[in-house]
Amino acid sequence: MNNLFVPIKKEIQLIIDAMAIKNFTDASCKLVEVSNSIDHLIDVTAVEEILVELTKYQLLLNHLQLKMSIKD
């Protein structure tokens, strides 16, 4: 199960890194990619523990998207 989340964590870190250097275009594109991937995983997953973890990442992405929308 943990192997499923390693790529997601790496992709989210790339989004955060892009935001840190004010590269909001790349961060936004990557955020859409990762969000779509998570949405797909939620659609095809039946294991409740995995769904809970995916929802946490989905909430984090929503928070990052909000931060980008109110950037300086």
Q: Label residue 49 exposed, middle or buried (CB < 10 Å: 0-12, 13-18, 19+).
A: exposed
pLDDT tens-digit series, residues 19-64: 999 999 999 999 999 999 999 999 999 999 999 999 999 999 999 9
Structure tokens at 72: 């300086």
Q: How many CB atoms lie within 10 A of CB 70?
A: 6
User: For 1-72, where are the alpha helices, taking DSSP H only?
Assistant: 2-20, 24-44, 48-69
pLDDT of residue 6: 95
Q: Which of 59, 69, 18 lies closest to 10, judged by CA?
A: 18
- pTM, to two decimals: 0.90
